[in-house]
Amino acid sequence: MKHIYLNLKRFDVPVELGGVNRLAPVKDWGAQVVEKTQGGLEKYDSAKVEFIQFLPEAHLPGAVAARKENSPVMLGSQGVYREDVAPGGNFGAFTTNRPAAAVKALGCEAVLIGHCEERNDKKGILAEAGVVNPEAVNRILNQEVRCAVAAGLKVVYCIGETAEEQPDWETVLGGQLDTGLCGVDTEKVVIAYEPVWSIGPGKTPADADYITKIARFVKERTNGMDVVYGGGLKTDNAGMLAAIPEIDGGLIALTRFSGEIGFYPEEYLEIIRLYLGE
């Protein structure tokens, strides 16, 4: 099974407010993402490839409503809280937070957990308290993963090393896997590898040999879990990633990185065509 994920971050913000959204007015944005992509994905065999689109929470109702019957598009949330609603327990006292039960109720089938931007947020909060403890971040993410799996959601669990951590990558990634997946039924989890040190303007992208090395390590550490490339599946690396047997898919974000940068549905479909070769 191949896995093609789309993480639209905060790409809903209009250009005039500093964002990159040229697709649709904010109120229609989630629906437009689904409407402009689901038709182009229908030609692919759902038994061989899955398509999950992770949207900011405000856009999930519109996106869910835009899905046609038997749509190839599954929808996901960009995170869950580390505690959840429970019968006879907390029935909803989660102001500002996003429990897994709420994500499920919105119509989502999946959740993205541990993205480098989420890890940085948690590290920053701990740093304000004078704490530098990567294992504490991994333990918090483990709670989120367990809540999501218990709610019946598929989980894309992200791991990755920074430039400072790269010399000790085995220990760093091993801890993220061992702690983050502790006590988890991994049948519903896919690992997304983000080489944080190589992501962003002016940085040298991870090459095929490095990505292969990490994917093999992850599969050995997790008894063969699926691994996708989370550092950005795009036009210029689709062929390279498709040629790595240990990589089971990729995570798409922006589709255009110069000029009028942003997410464009037709370019998203082209990236998928290049990666899948059909």
- Secondary structure letter of residue 164 according to DSSP: T
Please report the sign of the dihedral spanned by the C-alpha atoms of residue 86, residue 92, residue 97, residue 100. positive
Look-up: residue for tokens 């989120």? 144
Rg of the chain taking only CA atoms, in angstroms: 18
From CA 185, how far away is CA 150, in angstroms rounded? 9
Total residue count of the chain as it appears in this document: 278
Residue with tokens 């430039």: 163
b/e code 171-185 from CB counts within 10 Å (16+ = b): ebbebbbebbbeebe
Kindly state the DSSP code that residue 253 receives in the 8-state scheme.
Answer: -
Per annotation, catalytic residue among 35, 118, 161, 194: 194
| Pairing state between β 189-193 and 227-229 | parallel
Can you say how many angstroms the Cα of residue 34 is from the centroid of all Cα atoms in its chain? 17
Distance CA 160, CA 231 (A): 9
Q: Please identify which of the residues 35, 50, 59, 115 carries the catalytic annotation.
A: 115
Scanning the chain, the segments in alpha helix (DSSP H) are: 29-35, 38-41, 60-66, 100-105, 116-128, 134-150, 169-180, 208-221, 238-242, 265-276
Q: Does the annotation count 194 as an active-site position?
A: yes
Q: Which two tokens stand for residue 195?
A: 């080489």
Residue holding tokens 């890890």? 119
Which residues does the annotation mark as catalytic?
115, 194
